[in-house]
Chains A and B, each alone.
Chain A
Amino acid sequence: MRERMSIGARWDGGGQNARLRQAFDAGLIDFVEANYPVGSGPDCDPSMGIPVYVHSPANSVASPTGLNRHICEQVKAAATRFDSPWIGEHLCATGPEAQSRLGYIVNPILDPRLADVAVENARALQRYYGRPLALELGPQYQTVGEMPSEMHFLGDVARRADCHIVLDIAHYTASNRNLRRSEDYGLDALEPERIVELHLAGLRTGKDRRYWHDAHERLPDEGMVAMAKSLAQSLPNLRAITFEHEGKAPEADFFAFLTRLREELS
């Protein structure tokens, strides 16, 4: 029998602790997901007695430059401390060297040789962490390289490295809209049984009203909610849905959406 689906919320810092604690006590969330590394101050502990899923947007898994040892050590320590069921990692480069992040992750060049590098890194990282890796894509504005799409790149790397997948519905939808593809483009490039977690967040367009961007201050639109519901029914190994909603966004939206998720998806 399929395990119960867990619902969680993204933790971005101590400013969210009160609402996350309240949501946990009310039975609206089962875990928080935190991006590592975090700082060392009193506001930098996401646990609060709540299970923590460890995620990292700072490692260059799909880069030939190698990875930053300090980041890997901190991510591993956090995952061990919280016994995170898997570790979310972005399939990306971060900067021109192993150690650097210029501001936002860099989507991989869609080249088979780079896919080989990502497979080697993901396998090694999974062994280093001693627990499963779940790979995630960032939003795409262009495709660079010879492979058909980033979804094919992800599907190939996840299969060969034997990794889980985090499907970020906001990133995925933004990519499809930005690249003028159908709303369900590329799902068939992923092995469904590898997807263990969904991310849900809002989207917005820029001033040009043409390109879509991740918007954690907003709620997911009805299309994305419908997609999440459909995937929750069809994906055989889906175990978690993480709602990404920044601490400055309205608290009422946060609780109302989690209530809806619990009623409709859990």
Chain B
Amino acid sequence: MTPEEILFRPTSERPELGELIAVQTLYIKLLYCEATNAAYRASPTAVLDDCGLPASTATMLPRVESENHRAEMHGRRLLAARELLLEYPTLFATVVGADCDAAMVARQPFFSRFLSSADFFDPKRRLPHAFGIGEGYENVSAFFFWARANLEMDPQAKQALFEDFGRWLVKTAKCSAVPELQRHRRGAFFFRLDGRAMVVTGAGRVIEYAGVGDVASVLRAAGLTGLEDLEP
């Protein structure tokens, strides 16, 4: 076999690795997901059974009650929180508190829900990475898609989420050669809960759009991305 055939063949062509892949998937989930940890603490065999794994594979999984496992989980939560805090400063100042740090973000129940969600674990629920390596290499867009659908937000928080993400999207699009991202270079728009249209410009400024009529169509025709219906 060529190296390419070994390295890049689909897992569907390697049925003999199915159990290893399932164990590793559960292992990675246990490093982030509180809900899976709680279920596994309560009944390891039930979780293994749900994953189609025999009880013997428990030896390949963390001791979830151990201090070391909790420490690793905590470190991973902090790193994920740091990545998001960098790009969502307005949102987290609004929903967590001014001057909040990554540790405060990491302690939030909504953050646990995000780290337990399919949006976090599924690479396809993200935008392609700016370096041309595909989806699954940043959490900023995953968090946007999750929060837009799942985070209870007042009008101020919703505006903060869309502003922060819009700025990140435009900035990322400008430094990327990936066509799916480049199309966001000209800017983005969203609607506040009071119906006013807000535009994130190509320079990253957020301004209110004063036009009337079918505003969304006008802004789309100008090459701007609608953030309300942007999909991975």
Contact = CB atoms under 8 A, between A and B. Distances in A.
Interface of A: 37-41, 58, 63-72, 74, 93, 95-104, 106, 109, 111, 113-114, 117, 120-121, 124-125, 127-128, 141-142, 144-146, 178-179, 206-208, 210-211, 213
Contact of A39 (B25, B71, B121, B131): B131
B108 interface: no
B9 A103 contact: no
B59 A121 contact: no
Given A39-B175, A102-B28, A109-B24, A64 B68 contact: no
Instruction: Bin the interface of chain B by size.
Output: 35 or more
Interface string B18-31: 00110111011101
B32 to A, nearest CB: 7
Nearest to B138: A101
B134 A68 contact: yes
Nearest to A127: B3
B133 A106 contact: no
Contacts of A69: 4, 7-8
Contacts of B134: 68, 70, 99
A106 B80 contact: no
Interface of B: 3-4, 6-11, 14, 17, 20-21, 23-25, 27-29, 31-32, 59-63, 66-69, 71-72, 74-76, 79-80, 83, 103, 120-121, 123, 130-137, 139, 175-177
A120 B67 CA distance: 34
A95 B124 CA distance: 12
A66 B7 contact: yes
Given A70-B134, A104-B76, A106-B31, A178 B123 contact: no
27 contacts: A37-B131, A41-B175, A58-B137, A64-B17, A65-B24, A66-B7, A66-B11, A69-B4, A69-B8, A70-B132, A71-B133, A96-B24, A96-B25, A96-B28, A100-B136, A102-B76, A102-B120, A103-B76, A109-B23, A109-B60, A109-B61, A111-B20, A117-B20, A144-B60, A145-B60, A146-B59, A178-B71
